[in-house]
Homo-oligomer: A and B are copies of this chain.
Amino acid sequence: MERLFVIKIGGNIIDDETALSAFFKQFSEVEVKKVLVHGGGKLATELAQQLHIAQQMIEGRRITDAETLKIVTMVYAGLINKKLVAQLQALGCNAIGMTGVDGNLIRSHKRTNAGIDYGFVGDIDYVNTALLTNLFKEVEAVVIAPITHDKNGQLLNTNADTIAQELAKALAGKYAVELIYCFEKPGVLLDANNDNSVIAHINKAGFQDLKDTKAIYDGMIPKLTNAFAAVDSGVSKVIIGRAGQLTQLIEGNAGTTISNG
């Protein structure tokens, strides 16, 4: 099967011009079909502040009321998505920017939760993989802003990590998919304060050991659990590492690779 990368870049990379530029240079040179899912960074929070729209965070998640939904749609789907695509075009990488709304790429439903009302937040039901496959006849990269819809006219703010994971799983039947999470750290660390303590490879048995011995940072456990779920759904491997080291991550010379092997 043909290789395909689903790459997620976090907000910290979008806010950091040097890191973004280093990432894009490598991204545009990789001759493999690429889906890039981006988060929002601090721009949405800044715009909300300027417009005096109070932002409520519960357990690290933004509560998306109607006004906040407008803000994230403007910032993620408008400003950031188009800036990223324009930069890729300038590097000679033919990219198309989209949201889950476009061509019904990602349909979701509004999250209902007995405890917390997250507002206009979507949980994914469906990924239109046929559309992506056909877009790749035209372009080298599809750049996705984390906005989806319910097919009844409602836009929904959707977690970018989850979008990357669901796209990778849905595309796994058609391509040899590698799911790459790029952030500001060099990988999964044995010691959160030591960037030289990257664990190069984790398989399931190793993950169990790490949990049993409490050797890794608690916050990493849900990420790794999701990574193994992706691998169990047919994703070849999941790679976690620094955005500026994309080429090395892909070659297995940096970051943490999660696989069943």
Interface residues of A (CB under 8 A from B): 50-51, 70, 73-79, 81-83, 85-87, 89-90, 94-99, 101-104, 130-131, 134-135, 137-139, 147, 149, 151-155
Counting chain B CB atoms within 10 Å of each CB, the highest count among A51, A78, A149 belongs to A78
Which chain B residue lies CB-closest to A91? B153
Contacts A97-B101, A131-B138, A134-B138 aside, 10 further interface pairs with beta carbons under 8 A come to: A50-B50, A73-B78, A77-B77, A85-B101, A86-B154, A89-B104, A95-B103, A96-B98, A103-B138, A103-B139
* 20 A-B contacts (beta carbon < 8 Å): A50-B51, A51-B51, A73-B78, A73-B82, A77-B79, A78-B79, A83-B155, A87-B153, A89-B101, A89-B149, A89-B151, A90-B152, A90-B153, A95-B102, A95-B103, A96-B102, A97-B99, A97-B101, A97-B102, A131-B138
- A88–B147 CA distance with the chains assembled, in angstroms: 16
Counting chain B CB atoms within 10 Å of each CB, the highest count among A85, A86, A147, A153 belongs to A86
Interchain CB contact (< 8 A) of A86 among B75, B90, B153: B153
- A88–B155 CA distance with the chains assembled, in angstroms: 12
Question: How far does the Cβ of A43 sit from chain B's closest Cβ, in whole Å?
Answer: 9
Question: How far does the Cβ of A17 sit from chain B's closest Cβ, in whole Å?
Answer: 12
Question: How far does the Cβ of A139 sit from chain B's closest Cβ, in whole Å?
Answer: 5
Name the B residues within 8 Å of A77 (CB-CB). 77-79, 81-82
Contact call B99/A82, Cβ cutoff below 8 A: yes
Closest 10 A/B residue pairs (Cβ): A78-B78, A74-B74, A90-B153, A74-B78, A96-B103, A77-B78, A96-B102, A86-B149, A85-B101, A74-B79
